[in-house]
A and B are shown apart, each in its own frame.
Chain A
Amino acid sequence: MEYTFAFILKEETMSKLKEILFEAIKSARMSGVLQKLYLRTAENKDQAVYFLSVSNVPSKPELSEGFIDYMAIVENIDEDAQELVSRLLKSNATIVTRTDDIDPAIFVEKLPILITLDKSKNEAEVIAYILNGITKMLSLKKESVIKIIRSVIKEDNTELIEAYKMVSRK
């Protein structure tokens, strides 16, 4: 089992998500390598992307077309950057995004599973959606994920746990 994930998120959101994802990867008895790299668009602009590769042995993320299984874009990025990141996606990969953050037409060639969240969703809800998708791919049970969230955030009744419970119920 080998997956590569890509995230275009605010650093603060990524930092919270990372803490939980790392524990989830450990819980699934797998290894992961997270790397922040900048992609150069045709117009010579930067687009920061966090790459996370998960496999049985630590393996660096691939930097070529068709390698990303799951991508979260929760920032408004320009069309040039969208075209570039769309090249990274595998066919039928999953994209989690918010309304108006991306133009779905740019990604249509890869026939992705598009999960569009409402713009009003807060950070906890966005993290919950991403966690739900990735932990399912890692074959982790809902109860295990809740335990992991609790152990990382060290509080019992938080917004994130509630949001995750809500998302994973669907």
Chain B
Amino acid sequence: MYVVGVGRISISSVIEKIISRYDVNEMYVHIDPISLKVASDIAIEKVRRVYIETIDEILFRIMESPGKFIFLVSPKSADICSLFELMKKIVHISQRNENIKRGMVIFLATSKSIFYGIIDYVLKYDLPIHVPMDINSVASSGVELFVDGNKKVSIVVIEPEIIDMEIVGKEIDFKSMESNIVDRPITHGIRIGHGKLGVVGLGYILSVAMDVINESELNDRLTLYGLFRIDSSVREEIREILSKHKNILFLGCKKVVGDIVRSIAEDLIENGEIDWVPNITFAEDFFDNIETFGKQAIKYVLFNVLGLGEIDNSMNISAYSRIRLSLHKGVIDILDRFREELGHEVIALSPLYDRNIKSILSDMFEVLNHVLLGGKNYIILAHLCDLNLSIDMLKNLSEKFDGKMVIIAVSEYMTENLRKQLTKKISNSLQQSMLILSIDDGLEKILKKVKKRNKALVVL
């Protein structure tokens, strides 16, 4: 006998379980498409949802009153710096103030470059963060925060591979996680094996490496160090690993710890703490173009470094993970209709995605450049919240662009209230330069109106 929906784990279901188990009373959702998508899959009703338009707002929300919160945010590259300035403030205030909320700040990294960008800032700002290696470790970050009473705020950075993953036939065992936290002190990571080769991994790649090590029985040939928590003590940990092993392999963290590792190694040699030159290898150096490591890729690297024989590298398939929002049939039909009637070039603003759209640009600044320099007529497809986050840029676009342009604003995963609120805000800022229409007016009517005006924005 089975029950529909039970025994499934995804990032949303884990957050839902944390909310329910630890009586989290407020869920702050940054108004960006990915955070809204993750939040829309969280079905629990007892939590109060608060939509956060500007990230500064979160600071005031947390300080309002005691309680528990979860904050979901999916930053764009340009926002990471300001987010970390804010996180620094939050962590400092939480250390000094008893009467603020306790909670998790969950960064949803939509691509590896954003993930590395976040880790880079973590090391610069010296903020403690969790980097889960799988969906289970997201749960353990929640357990650690809400069961162990020492910390007020926990920052969790989730990689795209984990956001886009679902597991069926397994449940999260919160009880054993809770007893582990009570029984033994929290460590920065895990250590597996007892071999001479030191292998260091961070995040998702670690879970793939663990699978390979178990399946290939490499436990006595290498020691795997998994970093779960990153803060200033990471340097100490790397120092310790470099002092123990002559051969060290780093998995998937060249971009963030590459320079640090080399400088620590130099320091150790100069101070006479080690009498050898450590042989440091990065897994990324084995491939031309790799983002998401599969088992085969990890196996190839490990076997190569351990001298266990050649594994055919040509078998490896280059894959990567991106969190994108594929267009639904309804949106595609409307888009096709506009394309047919107007004949303009279509461009889309990420994370919206459709394989038939050739130009998918990453931010509004790129859209602005593309449109102003392109000199054609355009249909621009974007999520309503991304337009709202770049209203000034949108204004600029409508004032400076001489050609014809229709912006189609997708409002998927938004509540009706939020849709209305953002439409009103955009409408107030653009009313003189652009015709604002809603799909509720009817497609044919809209098409007639759009043909008469040079610039229009249609909210779906």
Q: For the complex, what is the distance from the CA of A10 to the CA of B331, rounded to whole Å?
A: 13
**Contact partners of A62 in chain B: CB under 8 A:** 294-296
Shortest CB–CB separation between residue A5 and chain B, in angstroms? 13
Closest-by-CB residue of B relative to A85 is B317
| Cβ–Cβ contact B318 & A40, under 8 A | yes
Q: For the complex, what is the distance from the CA of A35 to the CA of B161, rounded to whole Å?
A: 7
Closest-by-CB residue of B relative to A147 is B2
Q: Is the interface of B mostly helix, strand, loop or mixed?
A: mixed
* A1-58 contacts to B (CB < 8 Å): 10-12, 18, 22-23, 25-27, 29-40, 46, 48, 58
| Cβ–Cβ contact B317 & A39, under 8 A | yes
Closest-by-CB residue of B relative to A64 is B296
**Contact partners of A23 in chain B: CB under 8 A:** 2, 4
Shortest CB–CB separation between residue B291 and chain A, in angstroms? 9
**Contact partners of B320 in chain A: CB under 8 A:** 37-38, 40
- Evaluate whether A31 and B211 lie within 8 angstroms (CB atoms) in the complex, with A64-B294, A64-B317, A152-B4 already known: no
Shortest CB–CB separation between residue B196 and chain A, in angstroms? 27
* B205-219 contacts to A (CB < 8 Å): 207-208, 211
Contact with A along B414-447 (1 / 0, CB 8 A): 0000000000000000000000000000000000
Q: For the complex, what is the distance from the CA of A151 to the CA of B3, rounded to whole Å?
A: 9
**Contact partners of B164 in chain A: CB under 8 A:** 35-37
Stretch at the interface among B68-76, B165-173, B367-375, B378-386: B165-173
Contact with B along A53-88 (1 / 0, CB 8 A): 000001111111110000000000000000010011
Closest-by-CB residue of A relative to B332 is A10
**B292 at interface (Cβ–Cβ under 8 A)?**
yes
Q: For the complex, what is the distance from the CA of A22 to the CA of B13, rounded to whole Å?
A: 15
Shortest CB–CB separation between residue A75 and chain B, in angstroms? 8
- Interface size of A as a range: 35 or more
Which residue of A10, A31, A33 has the most chain B CB atoms within 10 A of its CB atom?
A: A33
- The residue that B8 contacts in the complex, of A22, A65, A84, with Cβ under 8 A, is A22
Q: For the complex, what is the distance from the CA of A27 to the CA of B317, rounded to whole Å?
A: 32
Q: For the complex, what is the distance from the CA of A30 to the CA of B2, rounded to whole Å?
A: 12
**B319 at interface (Cβ–Cβ under 8 A)?**
yes
| Cβ–Cβ contact A10 & B329, under 8 A | yes
Chain B contributes a number of interface residues (CB within 8 A of A) equal to 34
- Evaluate whether A63 and B292 lie within 8 angstroms (CB atoms) in the complex, with A26-B169, A32-B167, A32-B169 already known: yes
* B128-181 contacts to A (CB < 8 Å): 161, 164-170
Contact with A along B300-315 (1 / 0, CB 8 A): 0000000000000011
**Contact partners of A25 in chain B: CB under 8 A:** 168-169
| Cβ–Cβ contact A60 & B326, under 8 A | no
- Evaluate whether A58 and B166 lie within 8 angstroms (CB atoms) in the complex, with A38-B321, A63-B317, A65-B317 already known: no
| Cβ–Cβ contact B326 & A65, under 8 A | no
Contact with B along A116-143 (1 / 0, CB 8 A): 0000000000000000000000000000
Which residue of A62, A151, A152 has the most chain B CB atoms within 10 A of its CB atom?
A: A62
**Contact partners of B167 in chain A: CB under 8 A:** 31-34, 58
Q: For the complex, what is the distance from the CA of A39 to the CA of B289, rounded to whole Å?
A: 12
**Contact partners of A33 in chain B: CB under 8 A:** 165-168
- Evaluate whether A37 and B319 lie within 8 angstroms (CB atoms) in the complex, with A12-B328, A46-B355, A64-B296 already known: yes
**Contact partners of A152 in chain B: CB under 8 A:** 4
Shortest CB–CB separation between residue B167 and chain A, in angstroms? 5
Shortest CB–CB separation between residue A6 and chain B, in angstroms? 11
**Contact partners of B317 in chain A: CB under 8 A:** 39, 63-65, 84, 87-88
Q: For the complex, what is the distance from the CA of A30 to the CA of B207, rounded to whole Å?
A: 20
| Cβ–Cβ contact A12 & B295, under 8 A | no
| Cβ–Cβ contact A38 & B355, under 8 A | no
**Contact partners of B222 in chain A: CB under 8 A:** none
**B12 at interface (Cβ–Cβ under 8 A)?**
no
**B322 at interface (Cβ–Cβ under 8 A)?**
yes
- The residue that A30 contacts in the complex, of B169, B208, B322, with Cβ under 8 A, is B169
Shortest CB–CB separation between residue A152 and chain B, in angstroms? 6
**Contact partners of B329 in chain A: CB under 8 A:** 10, 12
Q: For the complex, what is the distance from the CA of A37 to the CA of B208, rounded to whole Å?
A: 15
- The residue that A59 contacts in the complex, of B4, B211, B314, with Cβ under 8 A, is B211
- Evaluate whether A63 and B168 lie within 8 angstroms (CB atoms) in the complex, with A23-B4, A37-B321, A38-B322 already known: no
Closest-by-CB residue of A relative to B4 is A151
Q: For the complex, what is the distance from the CA of A29 to the CA of B292, rounded to whole Å?
A: 29
Closest-by-CB residue of B relative to A42 is B318
Q: For the complex, what is the distance from the CA of A23 to the CA of B297, rounded to whole Å?
A: 31
Q: For the complex, what is the distance from the CA of A160 to the CA of B304, rounded to whole Å?
A: 50
Q: For the complex, what is the distance from the CA of A64 to the CA of B296, rounded to whole Å?
A: 6
| Cβ–Cβ contact A40 & B319, under 8 A | yes
26 CB-based A-B contacts, threshold 8 Å: A10-B329, A11-B328, A12-B328, A22-B166, A25-B168, A26-B7, A26-B168, A27-B2, A31-B170, A33-B167, A33-B168, A34-B165, A34-B167, A36-B164, A38-B319, A38-B320, A39-B319, A40-B289, A40-B320, A60-B207, A61-B294, A62-B294, A62-B295, A63-B295, A64-B316, A66-B315
19 other A-B residue contacts (CB within 8 Å) besides A38-B321, A40-B318, A63-B317: A25-B169, A26-B168, A31-B169, A32-B167, A33-B168, A35-B321, A38-B320, A39-B319, A58-B169, A58-B170, A61-B294, A62-B296, A63-B292, A63-B319, A64-B297, A65-B317, A87-B317, A88-B317, A152-B4
- Give A contacts to B, CB under 8 Å: 10-12, 18, 22-23, 25-27, 29-40, 46, 48, 58-66, 84, 87-88, 151-152
The 6 closest A-B pairs by CB, nearest first: A63-B294, A64-B296, A31-B169, A11-B326, A65-B315, A22-B168
